[in-house]
Copies of this chain bind each other. A is one copy, B any other.
Amino acid sequence: MKVFVVYAHPNPNSLNATLKDHAVGALHRAGHEVRISDLYAMKWKAVADADDFPERDKSLPLEYMVASGEAYENGTQPRDIAAEVEKLLWADAVIFQFPVWWFGFPAILKGWVDRVFAYKFAYGYKNAGNTYRYGDGALAGKRTLLSVTVGGPEVDYGPRGINGPLEHLLFPITHGTLFFPGIDVLPTFAVYGTARIDEASVEAAKRALERRMVRLFVDDPIPFRRQNGGDYPDRHTLAPHIAADITGIPAHIASDRTGAPFAVQALESVKD
């Protein structure tokens, strides 16, 4: 299979670099083809702005959404964006390797999304508004995995930990960004406590990540409810009988076989 690794860390000696290299090795050993976007090494342009549309009439005010849709449809995207779109369409799976900074993407990776996930490609697909989203869309049939490092201790991210559960903090990414254009999202692979991690824990993390790479096309994705699967009859709101007694993020994740909330137990740490 074909695997696209998107990697964002400024230090080539970092734990993130180690994990990325180890994941790529494991993918090769499993017989997969691998392509890598090393965003820092590529000096990826993070900011979505008028320079993304060199052929646009500069006397008009920039409507970034509209301009991104036109450039995508007309084949006039800048080369760096078009190359990432091509890799996404090539891939069967996408791995994101990054450190969680302020409970989300580093800016360079957020800027990769802001620029690559163009209108009419990642949203407004088929020029049909919100008809195709959350399980349907240009990237349906692919799968993805976030492999992240977290500076703080795991306890802070527990069901009642002070930061909030990691899968809920990452919901704007897993659900709102990746499931939105149709990608199935595997449970996040997280290494906690990386601000002061010892060598044995690094080795344990590498082994755990390798297991996730081996199971990349086998593991069940997070069971986010599909927009067009019947749970949202008007495409906007959950039907009254679906997750009838809950609101907020957990309502959009179907329970797993044991009936326990999936979001919490889905998170794999190095302790597994």
Min distance, Cβ A230 to any Cβ of chain B, angstroms? 13
**What does DSSP make chain A's interface, helix, strand, loop or mixed?**
loop
8 other contacts beyond A10-B49, A153-B236, with CB at 8 A cut-off? A48-B106, A48-B108, A102-B172, A130-B152, A134-B162, A160-B247, A162-B235, A164-B252
- Which residues, 148 to 172 on A, are CB-close (under 8 Å) to B? 151-153, 155-156, 158-165, 168-169, 171-172
- In the complex, whether A34 has a CB less than 8 A from a CB of chain B is no
Bound state CA distance, A244 and B195, in angstroms? 31
A-B contact list, 21 entries, CB within 8 Å: A11-B62, A11-B64, A13-B61, A46-B46, A46-B108, A47-B107, A65-B195, A101-B114, A103-B173, A104-B104, A104-B105, A107-B107, A107-B113, A108-B111, A160-B238, A161-B236, A162-B238, A164-B175, A164-B248, A168-B171, A248-B250
For A76, list chain B residues within 8 Å (CB): none
Q: Which residue of B lies closest to A101 (CB)?
A: B114
In the complex, are the beta carbons of A50 and B10 less than 8 A apart? yes
Q: What is the count of identical protomers in the complex? A: 2
Q: Which of B107, B161, B163, B250 contacts A46 (CB 8 A)?
A: B107
- In the complex, whether A77 has a CB less than 8 A from a CB of chain B is no
Shortest Cβ-Cβ A-B pairs, 8 listed: A107-B111, A103-B172, A13-B61, A103-B176, A159-B247, A107-B110, A46-B46, A160-B238
Q: Which residue of B lies closest to A236 (CB)?
A: B155
- Which residues, 1 to 20 on A, are CB-close (under 8 Å) to B? 10-14
Bound state CA distance, A160 and B231, in angstroms? 11
For A173, list chain B residues within 8 Å (CB): 102-103
For A237, list chain B residues within 8 Å (CB): 155, 158, 160-162
For A261, list chain B residues within 8 Å (CB): 247
For A252, list chain B residues within 8 Å (CB): 162, 164
